[in-house]
């Protein structure tokens, strides 16, 4: 049997004597006569003997591989009974994979079959809760009774169960009044079982906050400091703690002596999935202190609502989320037959021929941070007959290599060459690196488990800051990084690691009639519409970049069993001469191979089609971003094809990224460049440049920082509209919805140095103006975006209906920018009075000391 590594310390743990402040059990050795004790023990022995004779149990306490696994269906248990059963499971499975609980999902039985075949497991059924307690009576040394009316008492008891090897029970379970304690027509009372009540929490606490405060003080020092469980459900002192729970899975906490609690994380009421949660300052403060008491990066199981708020909270303390479903203690002990885990196909820059004429398209499943993929076999998509016919990238948590190696080994063994695996957000756990106090410990944690799992590609959420991505990449050493920050971009870290940004939404049912995959894609008409829409969006990204480039396509994993079939349909709709569906590791290896011997060109991103803007009447500097993919210093020659264009040369250090002013356009009319040629390291690239003059700014001098077409930005509402006058022939149309104020265009969430800036927006009205010419039509603003943003609007202007003409016009917003951690977000808001179209946004930086009044301001 292979060695199983425990992630949260020695199984024996550290024990102190029971807290003298706790009352000795009302039913225990101090309150019973010796005669009664003897009678209770005799009754229990008789019950165990009867069960043995019936053939329903194995010899207790024997963790050998030849012993059958006990299996019990717990799908009909009440919450308190389930808490007891899962807590016992955690104690029992410390000594091996001895107890499996069935929660009503088909996946549980599938895993039974797999382990029967691959590990030789045998199973025996346990029918009732009393049988379960009797079978494993030697795995706990007594009871801790809690007050079910005080929610926090329950979770203090579960925490105590792990650190003192106790069985937590409610009063109903203790006295046998619980329906689950019925056996043979009679109710089995634990009060008559002979187990001592080591701790009795009934009447000890008047509120959940009081219970959690006590647990933080008295129990946290004895718990693992790297593991906790947020229940996220039910009521704590009248406050709804969450919507998605309550989340069980307490066997994992008990097994590893984790800290269990259920509190509202929000000081003020918030809305999650349409329901209110939180609203208690006392609970939110206590929640923070619990997170502060843990050692970062700590694993937080369970869940929290709203998800983004909760993940920000964990991340600010340096922790990460890892959750979903049950039986972790069992799966963690299943033996694996291999010393190391290896994917069957392992692309590398040395073995992959890069695609220089086609775009990589990588289909990625969601939920890689959780066990929601592997435990239910990716919602049965692993059994899709189409799997293997198209490359699919399956998101998993690389922690599986250490915690659940037999499960990960199964997926690697049954994978086809088209099945690749990547680390789900944001590596070995769900977190937002941008807001972590220091992302390096978490990145090292991810790198360690990524290498154990043979996973080289990491998908990040909440990681848009280049400085954070640099530190994360340097510490985790991946093959490549993807980051869920729009729009689609490609760039390279200082060590040559490619970074690819998502653009296509996490939920590909966006703008379809159904919100769920199963309903949407079971309908052939809706599925065809989704495939066509996705094809158009992929084509739109390809229209503004040059290959090689990676286009990422997320798929919502939930409740849809035919992801491979859907991806195959999308792949079939794409032109094979222009697009190549690929494994993510193949694409990243191809990018590394391509970049390793060249200097790359772009403006905001490598391989972008160049877009510039100049300000009439002033001097405008037009920069070009160069990235040296080589390890050595490289000389670069740049030439623009225009009448007065001088040739210039620069030398880049190894892996250096630098913005170089290609040309300065003066106030006098002059020819503008339409092509730029860059030559370096034996390669020459001729790149088309789209350039536009902007009148009416009144600015004497500026540098064009970036030009962002509407197809490059985000679109909460509206539709794409073909327009030959727009950048790349695509604009964004926003209809009139009377009286509704909402954002129509936003982005691009880019980092900029501190300074004074001007944003120029190009837009026009559609149709006739409203009767009220002074009605507000559009608000343009620039805001501090990103997960770590300081927040707030940095500049804004309001356009009335009579000031928005039917022809293209430019409007300006002046703003001051403070730099990181803020990421620049431009926004176009509609007041619902008129329909209009947005073309592009251009950003200019003003030189230091330029008179502020020279720039237009509202």
In angstroms, the CA 677 to CA 234 distance is 64
Q: What is the band of 65 on the pLDDT scale with cuts at 50, 70, 90? A: low
Q: 283, 263 in Cβ contact below 8 A?
A: yes
pLDDT of residue 663: 85
Per-domain boundaries in the chain: 29-330, 336-595, 599-694, 705-854
Instruction: Please check the confidence at residue 589 and state whether its pLDDT lies above 90.
Output: yes
Q: pLDDT for 301-347, tens place per residue?
A: 999 999 999 999 999 999 999 999 999 999 999 998 777 899 999 99
Superfamily of domain 599-694: Immunoglobulins (2.60.40.10)
Instruction: Please check the confidence at residue 7 and state whether its pLDDT lies above 80.
Output: no
Nearest Cα to 638, choosing from 693, 706, 701, 689? 689
Q: 796, 781 in Cβ contact below 8 A?
A: yes
In angstroms, the CA 259 to CA 268 distance is 25
Nearest Cα to 733, choosing from 749, 745, 748? 745
Q: What is the band of 50 on the pLDDT scale with cuts at 50, 70, 90? A: very low
DSSP bridge pairs for 748? 825
Q: Which two tokens stand for residue 854?
A: 């020279």
In angstroms, the CA 53 to CA 790 distance is 68
pLDDT of residue 434: 95
Q: pLDDT for 471-484, tens place per residue?
A: 999 999 999 999 99
Nearest Cα to 424, choosing from 343, 346, 506? 506
pLDDT of residue 44: 39
Q: Which two tokens stand for residue 668?
A: 């006098």
pLDDT of residue 507: 60
Range with the poorest average pLDDT among 511-525, 580-594, 681-695, 744-758: 511-525
Range with the poorest average pLDDT among 90-99, 272-281, 557-566, 579-588: 557-566
Which helix (H) or strand (E) is 836 found in, with range? strand 835-845
Q: What is the band of 849 on the pLDDT scale with cuts at 50, 70, 90? A: low
pLDDT of residue 9: 30
What is the percentage of the chain residues whose pLDDT exceeds 70? 89
Q: 800, 776 in Cβ contact below 8 A?
A: yes
Give me the residue label for tokens 């599925």: 527
Which DSSP state fits 801? Answer: G
Q: What is the band of 509 on the pLDDT scale with cuts at 50, 70, 90? A: low
Nearest-5° Cα angle at 117, 111 to 120: 100
Q: 727, 839 in Cβ contact below 8 A?
A: yes
Q: What is the band of 667 on the pLDDT scale with cuts at 50, 70, 90? A: confident
**CA-to-CA separations, 634 to 117, 581, 628, in angstroms, rounded:** 57, 33, 7
pLDDT of residue 645: 57
Q: pLDDT for 147-160, tens place per residue?
A: 999 999 999 999 99
Q: Count CB neighbours of 344 within 10 A.
A: 12
pTM tops 0.75, yes or no: yes
Q: 431, 314 in Cβ contact below 8 A?
A: yes
Q: What is the band of 527 on the pLDDT scale with cuts at 50, 70, 90? A: confident
Please tell me the CATH code under which domain 336-595 is placed.
3.20.20.490
Q: What is the band of 526 on the pLDDT scale with cuts at 50, 70, 90? A: confident
Q: What are the strands, taking DSSP E only, across 328-396?
A: 359-365, 392-396
In angstroms, the CA 671 to CA 641 distance is 10
> Would you tell me which CATH number, out of the four given (3.40.190.10, 1.10.287.3510, 3.40.50.12500, 2.60.120.260), belongs to the domain 705-854?
2.60.120.260
pLDDT of residue 182: 86
Cα dihedral sign, 520-425-536-745: positive
In angstroms, the CA 329 to CA 87 distance is 10
Which DSSP state fits 644? Answer: T
Nearest Cα to 109, choosing from 136, 77, 69, 76? 69
Q: Are β-strands 730-734 and 742-750 bridged in parallel, bridged antiparallel, or unpaired?
A: unpaired
Helix 281-293, helix 208-218: angle, nearest 10:
20
Nearest Cα to 208, choosing from 254, 262, 288? 262
pLDDT of residue 130: 95
pLDDT of residue 512: 62
Range with the poorest average pLDDT among 206-215, 258-267, 349-358, 505-514: 505-514
Edge-to-edge strand list for the sheet holding 610-615: 610-615, 683-694, 675-680, 634-640, 648-652
Radius of gyration of the chain (CA): 31
């Amino acid at each position: 049997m292979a060695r199983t590594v425990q992630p949260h310390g020695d199984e024996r743990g550290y024990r102190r004597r029971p807290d003298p402040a706790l009352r000795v059990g009302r039913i225990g050795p101090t309150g019973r006569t010796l005669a009664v004790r003897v009678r209770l023990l005799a009754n229990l022995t008789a019950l165990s003997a009867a069960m043995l004779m019936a053939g329903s149990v194995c010899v207790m306490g024997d963790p050998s591989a030849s012993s059958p696994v006990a299996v019990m269906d717990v799908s009909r248990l009440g919450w308190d009974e389930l808490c007891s059963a899962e807590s016992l499971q955690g104690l029992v499975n410390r000594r091996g994979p001895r107890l499996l609980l069935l929660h009503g999902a088909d996946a549980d039985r599938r895993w039974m079959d797999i382990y029967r075949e691959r590990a030789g497991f045998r199973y025996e059924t346990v029918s009732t809760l009393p049988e379960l307690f009797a079978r494993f009576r030697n795995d706990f040394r007594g009871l801790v009774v809690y007050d079910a009316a005080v929610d926090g008492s329950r979770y203090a008891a579960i925490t105590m169960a792990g650190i003192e090897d106790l069985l937590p029970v409610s009063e109903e379970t203790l006295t046998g009044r619980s329906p689950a304690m019925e056996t043979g027509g009679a109710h089995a009372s634990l009060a008559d079982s002979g187990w001592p009540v080591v701790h009795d929490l009934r009447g000890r606490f008047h509120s959940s906050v009081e219970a959690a405060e006590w647990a933080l003080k008295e129990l946290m020092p004895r718990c693992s400091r790297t593991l906790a469980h947020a229940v996220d459900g039910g009521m704590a002192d009248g406050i709804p703690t969450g919507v998605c729970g309550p989340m069980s899975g307490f066997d994992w906490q008990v097994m590893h002596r984790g800290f269990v609690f259920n509190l509202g994380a929000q000081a003020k009421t918030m809305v999650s999935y349409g329901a209110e949660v939180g609203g208690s300052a006392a609970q939110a403060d206590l929640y923070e202190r619990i997170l502060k008491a843990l050692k970062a990066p700590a694993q937080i199981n369970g869940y929290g609502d709203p998800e983004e708020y909760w993940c920000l909270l964990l991340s600010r303390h340096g922790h990460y989320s890892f959750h979903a479903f049950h039986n972790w203690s069992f799966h963690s002990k299943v033996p694996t037959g291999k010393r190391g885990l290896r994917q069957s196909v392992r692309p590398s820059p040395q073995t992959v021929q890069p695609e220089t004429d086609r775009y990589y398209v990588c289909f990625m499943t969601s939920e890689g941070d959780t066990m929601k993929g592997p435990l239910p076999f990716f919602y049965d998509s692993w059994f899709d007959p189409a799997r293997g016919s198209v490359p699919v990238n399956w998101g998993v948590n690389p922690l599986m290599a250490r915690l659940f190696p037999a499960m990960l080994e199964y997926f690697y063994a049954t994978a086809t060459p088209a099945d690749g695996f990547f680390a789900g957000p944001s590596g070995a756990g769900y977190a937002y690196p941008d807001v972590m106090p220091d992302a390096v410990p978490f990145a090292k944690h991810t790198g360690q488990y990524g290498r154990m799992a043979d996973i080289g590609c990491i998908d990040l959420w909440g990681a848009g800051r280049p400085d954070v991505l640099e530190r994360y990449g340097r510490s985790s050493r991946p093959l490549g990084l993807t980051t869920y920050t729009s729009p689609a971009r490609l760039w390279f870290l200082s060590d040559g690691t490619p970074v690819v940004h998502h653009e296509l939404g996490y939920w590909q049912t966006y703008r379809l009639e159904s919100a769920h995959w199963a309903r949407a894609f079971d309908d052939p008409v809706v599925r065809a519409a989704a495939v066509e829409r996705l094809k158009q969006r992929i084509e739109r990204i390809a229209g503004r970049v040059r290959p090689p480039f990676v286009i990422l396509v997320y798929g919502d994993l939930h409740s849809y069993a035919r992801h491979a079939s859907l991806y195959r349909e999308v792949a079939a709709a794409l032109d094979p001469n222009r697009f190549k569906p690929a494994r993510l590791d193949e694409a990243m290896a191809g990018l590394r191979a391509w970049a390793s011997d060249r200097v790359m060109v772009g403006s905001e991103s490598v391989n972008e089609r160049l877009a510039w803007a100049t300000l009439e009447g002033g001097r405008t500097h037009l920069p070009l971003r160069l990235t040296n993919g080589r390890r050595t210093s490289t000389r670069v020659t740049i030439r623009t094809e225009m009448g007065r264009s001088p040739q210039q040369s620069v030398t880049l250090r190894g892996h250096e990224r630098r913005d170089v002013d290609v040309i300065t356009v003066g106030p006098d009319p002059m020819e503008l460049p339409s092509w730029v040629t860059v030559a370096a390291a034996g390669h020459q690239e001729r790149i088309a440049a789209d350039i536009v003059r902007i009148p009416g700014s009144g600015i004497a001098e500026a540098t064009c920082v970036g030009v962002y077409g509407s197809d490059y930005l985000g679109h909460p509402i509206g539709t794409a509209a073909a327009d030959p006058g727009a950048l790349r022939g695509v604009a964004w149309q926003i209809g009139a919805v009377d009286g509704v104020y909402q954002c129509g265009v936003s982005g691009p969430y880019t980092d900029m140095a501190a300074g004074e800036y001007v944003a120029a927006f190009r837009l026009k009205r559609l149709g006739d103006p409203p009767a009220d010419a002074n009605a507000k039509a559009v608000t343009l603003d620039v805001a501090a975006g990103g997960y770590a943003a300081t927040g707030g609007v940095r500049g804004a202007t309001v356009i009335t209906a009579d000031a928005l003409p039917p022809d293209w016009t430019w409007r300006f917003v002046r703003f001051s920018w403070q730099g990181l951690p803020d990421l620049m977000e431009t926004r176009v808001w509609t007041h619902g009075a008129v329909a209009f179209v947005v073309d592009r946004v251009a950003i200019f930086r003003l030189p230091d000391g330029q008179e502020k009044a020279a720039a237009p301001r509202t």
